[in-house]
Amino acid sequence: LVDHASRAAEAVELGFDERWPLDSPAAVTTLCGLNLAGLALLGEEPGAAHWLALSDPRLETVLTTLAPDGWWPTGFEDWNLLLPLLVRVADSWERLAERDRFDHGLFRSAWAVAVHGLAPPAHDIIDLDRVGREGVSRRSAAEEGRAGGQYRWLQEPCTWALDRLARRFQDSNFRLAAERWRTEQLGRGSPWAVLWEPARSMARLGHPDRPYHLFESHGLAIWRSSWAREATCLALASGPAYGVDRPQWEPGTALDADANHFLLWSGGQALACDSGRLTEPLSQYHNTVLVDGLGQSPPASHDSGAAGLEAAWLSGLGGSLVGCADGAYPPATGLQTFRRHLAFGPGYLLVWDLLNSSRPCRYEWLLHSHGAIETGGAGEARVVVGEAALQIQALRPHRLKLAVGEVVLEGQANLSQLRLGTAESVSQTQFLVLLAPCSRQVPCPVQAALLTGDTAVGARLTWHNGDREDVLFPTRGRGIVLDDLISDAASLALRRAGEGDWRQLLARRVSRILVPGGVVLTASQPVDVSLAVEGGAAVGEVESATGATLSLRCPFVPRGVLVDGQSGRARVEREERLVSVRLTHGRHHLRITGW
């Protein structure tokens, strides 16, 4: 141990910081080992104090800087490797030196990574950055019947670390996360548990309340429709990979040029994904955009303001996201604007990309799957993976080139690739694409038509039951003005029974919605709203940054209102079918019952 620690200390002294970025597994494992050795042998070995002096400041930088929201900059697999080591360091300092080193976002939010980092099929993970095997693609693992075989489980999963953090933070979410990993049999248990703490028998505790999470520092949003294996799950990775303020040291291990890359699961399958291989970090292997055939620069080559999550609203029903990648592309492309807007709800995802360059160029919109991609009518395609399918309908640009091919590397076809391109070189363009998950054996339950005006763009979705849903983005700041709809929402999805009353409402930063039948919603301050009519009641979530009074015209005669399970903050006008609710700042659960 002394010999190994001495050699590690020598390596740290001789150019360690130049050779190894502090987010790399090699750097963190070396520092953890040196720190633990110093603690264990302090007072017995003359060099122990020096080992601590070398490793401790660097570990403090790791703990305070790298993952303030919990998500490790280089991906899920590195997190799974390094979290137990870092927890052991913090645990040792608490026991041996009575110093608390747990109070960092890396530890506080570890449960969110453990739960939301897994895709609905438990063998699958949110594969971003350094995730995957060099020689095994997602497609080859599926063909060989080895679901999840494309991943490198660098060690047994970190259930011991989650148990230890549960005791430290007294947060049931950690126990839920650890139990989920055990229930899904992700590995055979951590070596730390064998050495220091035998595994305990734990009752199945269920899942966290909210099936969505926002990793703000990493620019990563993950949403799922439920905790079921067949659920729809969406992830948008926009960056920055290193938080708002990049550390002084130069990062180098976040490889994937994937700003505004999205992933989509449904029906137990990855419908929109990347290859799962470490050797394919370029933009052309991700679900993003190419400019004149060029992709993004590596994350380490641009500053943290080059890409990020500009706006987000997630709820149990759906949500709205805006990713910005204006500075993620090399100067040679001339790209000035790349905004990706996502609006999603039950049964659909609508993607609106706004692109602008200093010179005319050709834009290509990419989507990848390890399943088969079939083309249909104009601007239409269909992804088939097992018994799940994804219907794709491109509504913009008007002159569109559609092509399907295979990504072949090292003689192996790793991915099917859909390319939607502009027919000619233009300085600015828009892509508006509907993606609707469905069953392979069942026709897609929704059809889309372009919906546009001077102030808004979007799609009118027609559902098989006759419902009509308008999903809209304002094109000139906040403001949507159409013949049959006026709103100041930053994004809006309003579902109505034909021309009648609303059935479902998803809106971000809204204070008014008007339709020909009158006012649907007004608010004294902008709010985020997610409501659906279920069995004679309107149920959902409302969030306000400052507090607001919300007035809502119901599609039924209202009887009573509960806010977070409590009454007393609402007024009901039955003749007008109007409900007014006083909201404090924050997120609230709203339930309006009818007669």
CATH code of 475-595, in short, is 2.60.220.10
Domain boundaries, the chain: 475-595
459 strand-pairing partners: 450, 471
d(CA 565, CA 361): 54
Tokens 């999470």 belong to: 213
Which one, of 178, 12, 163, lies nearest residue 91 by Cα? 163
Q: What letter would DSSP give residue 566?
A: B
Q: List the end-to-end C-alpha distance of the chain, in Å, as a whole number.
A: 74
Radius of gyration of the chain (CA): 25
The DSSP string of 263-308 is: EEEETTEEEE----BTT--SGGGSSSEEETTB-PPPGGGS-GGGSE
What is the per-residue pLDDT across 497-520, written as a single tens digit (0 to 9) for each? 977 899 999 999 999 999 998 999
d(CA 42, CA 34): 12
Q: How many CA atoms lie within 13 A of 377 on its CB side?
A: 5
Q: Are 274 and 280 in contact (CB under 8 A)?
A: yes
Would you tell me how many other CB atoms lie within 10 Å of the CB of residue 151? 20
Q: pTM of this prediction?
A: 0.93
Contact 128, 104 (CB under 8 A): no
**Nearest CA among 416, 404, 55, 410 for reference residue 270:** 416
* The pLDDT of residue 379: 92
Residues 506 and 542: their CA atoms lie apart, in Å, by: 10
Q: Which two tokens stand for residue 13?
A: 């002294």
Residue 201 confidence (pLDDT): 44
pLDDT for 193 equals: 45
Residue 346 tokens read as 């039950």
pLDDT at 245: 40
Q: If we measure between CA atoms, which residue out of 485, 494, 492, 495 comes closest to residue 509?
A: 492
Nearest-angstrom CA–CA distance, 183 and 416? 33
Those residues of the chain that have pLDDT short of 70 are: 154-157, 185-205, 240-255, 279, 300, 304
Is residue 491 within 8 A of residue 513, CB to CB? The reply is no
Angle between helices 48-61 and 25-41 (to 10 degrees): 140
Apex 151 CA angle, 228 and 319, nearest 5: 40
Amino acid sitting at position 151: Y
Q: What's the rounded Cα separation, in Å, for the pair 306 and 68?
A: 19
CA separation for the pair 546, 529 (Å, rounded):
14
Look up residue 125 and give its DSSP letter.
B
